[in-house]
Every structure is written in structure tokens, then in C-alpha cells.
Amino acid sequence: MQLLIVKDEAEFGQTAARLVCEFLAQKPESTLVFPTGNTPLSMYEELVAQFASEKVSFSRATLVELDDYYGIALQDPRNLFAWLQNIFLRQVDFRPVRLFRFNTEAEDAAAEAARMESILQAHGGIDLLVLGLGPNGHIGFNEPGSELLGATRVVNLTHESLISNARYWGEIDNVPSQGFTLGLNVLRKAAKTILLVNGSHKAGILKQMVEGPITDLLPATYLREMPNVLVLANAAAASLLSRKPSLLNEHD
Ligand code: GLP
């Protein structure tokens, strides 16, 4: 696992977007899995800017949704795919037929989860996985207690995740209690993974993730056993790490 530390939000977004663009330049027909949340906002902003200046195209790429709230329709502002469409997908040139989302209203959740896994399988798995880090160490909605070989499924969100997601939806009662997530069984096979960690409120969990024991109580620690993982953190998020690599811009 490689750790890259940048100093501020602008550099964070630019670096994340540059890594995505470099990856797509190598393999334009990549299968991508991208996160929602606050953390990747500056990356999406930069990717949209790069697309506008014709430096990147997503027209040959496929995107498979990482996670979403179960029971929340696409028309609901809380739907995570709708959020991603507004922030990013509609502003670049993905082909609609190559976008795959969880049917959050599926009655048979197990069949829907299996359908998403089979889509990934048909595309040869994930080429580039970009993740955020949950405040309790979750990745996607793989909450503490998730097994390394856990499948794509509906999970009950932990109280900590409900509290942290309440800031988006006003109050905790507005946060859906269940979510679909791609399972660690498929995430762990991604050819390349970039974990984005931003802000002083993530410093404690990043330290545990990098320096603590590998445990299912902190699913992000499994990233340490995966091939080709890069953690991109800003200085605030990296502030509690015992051993820090130099700031990225010192090498530029
Ligand atoms: C959410 C999502 C994750 C996201 C994480 C961090 O619950 N399920 O996919 O990466 O929490 O969110 P944020 O970037 O807003 O801190």
C-alpha cells in the first residue's frame, strides 16, 4: 500500500483526478467504481474541468455503482446514483448503456445484488476502484463486521454511519437504515484502488487503518492486503500518522 499526502483541497482534487485520467489514458475501456460523499467532490470538479478542456473522455468506460440506499427511488434526492449523476456523470461523456446502478426498489434484494455482481463479472471485474473512508472504517457500505469474502448485498447501516450521513439529510430519521453495497469479495480484486481521505475528522480512523491491526472491525484495513492500493490523504487527515511520507509537492 502506497501513501501519498497532499497539502490542501485543491491539490487533493487535482491529484485524484490526475490519477484517474492517467489510468483511463492507459485503458480507456476501464470498468470504474467511484464513491459518493463529501470526500470526492473536488476530484469530480476537476474531472469535469479536464473533460471540458478535452483532456479526458469516459466514452469507452463503464461505471458500476459502489453503494446506495435500499428502498430509495432514483427520483429521491437521497438516491446516491442520482447524486453522482448530478455531480459528475451528466457533465461528462459516459454512454448511458455503460452505467450500471443498483435498482434500489428491487423487491428481491438478493437477486439484485447478484445481478450487479454478474455485471462486474461480465466486464472482467473492476479496473479502477476509488473509495472514500467511512468514519467507522467502512468502505462502500461494508460496515464493521463485514467479512473479507462478503458478497454484494443489502446491509443494515450502523448507528455511526446513520449519524454521519444525517448531515446530508437534515436529521437521523431521514437517513435510510439499509444500503446495497458491492461486497469485499469483488472490491478486493480491483486491479487498482485509490482510497481518498480528507480532513482532520478522518485523522483518527486513517491512523487506525494504516497502523492498527487488520480486522473485520475496520473493513478498510483489508486494503492493506490488496494489490496496487494508493491512499491519497490531505495533510489534515494524515496528521496523526506516526510515519509520514513527504508532502507530494516537495517532490514536484
Ligand atoms: C458513506 C458512503 C461511502 C463514503 C463514506 C465517506 O456512508 N457509503 O461510500 O465513501 O461514507 O463519506 P464522506 O466522504 O462524506 O466522509
Among this protein's residues, is 159 annotated catalytic?
A: no
Please tell me which residue in 45, 67, 68, 127 is annotated as part of the active site.
67
Q: Is 54 a catalytic site residue?
A: no
The mean pLDDT of 142-149, rounded to a whole number, is 88
Query: 133 C-alpha vs ligand 1 centroid, how far in Å?
Result: 6
What per-residue confidence (pLDDT) applies to 246? 57
Active site residue 67: yes
Give strand pairing partners of 180.
68, 154
Whole-Å CA distances, 141 to 18, 165, 193: 26, 12, 16
Residue ranges covered by each domain of the chain: 9-196+210-232
* Protein residue with least CA distance to atom 13, ligand 1: 37
Cα 237 to its chain centre, rounded Å, is 17
* pLDDT, tens digit, 9 for 90 and up, residues 9-52: 899 999 999 999 999 999 999 999 999 999 999 999 999 999 99
Would you place residue 247 in the very low, low, confident or very high pLDDT band (cuts 50, 70, 90)? Answer: low
Q: pTM for the complete prediction?
A: 0.95
Q: Indicate the fold that domain 9-196+210-232 takes in CATH.
A: Rossmann fold (3.40.50)
Q: Is the CB of 62 under 6 A from ligand 1?
A: no
Place of cell 472482467: 124
* Residue 138 bears catalytic tag: yes
The verdict on the CB of residue 176 being under 6 Å from ligand 1 is no
Of the residues 12, 83, 104, 138, which should be mutated to test ligand 1's pocket, given the most ligand atoms within 8 Å of the CB? 138
Contact, 127 vs 192, CB < 8 A? yes
Q: Residue 39: CB within 6 Å of ligand 1?
A: yes
Q: Which atom of ligand 1 is nearest to the CA of 199?
A: 16
140 CA to centre of ligand 1 in angstroms? 7
Residue pLDDT, tens place only, 211-227: 999 999 999 999 999 98
| Mean pLDDT to the nearest integer, 49-70 | 98
Backbone angles phi, psi at 55, to 5 degrees: -95, -10
Reported as a single tens digit per residue, the pLDDT across 167-203 is 888 889 989 999 999 999 999 999 999 999 999 999 9
CA distance 124 to 101: 17
Q: Within 10 Å of residue 188's Cβ, how many Cβ atoms?
A: 20
Place 149 in a pLDDT band, splitting at 50, 70 and 90.
confident
123 CA from centroid of ligand 1 (Å) = 25
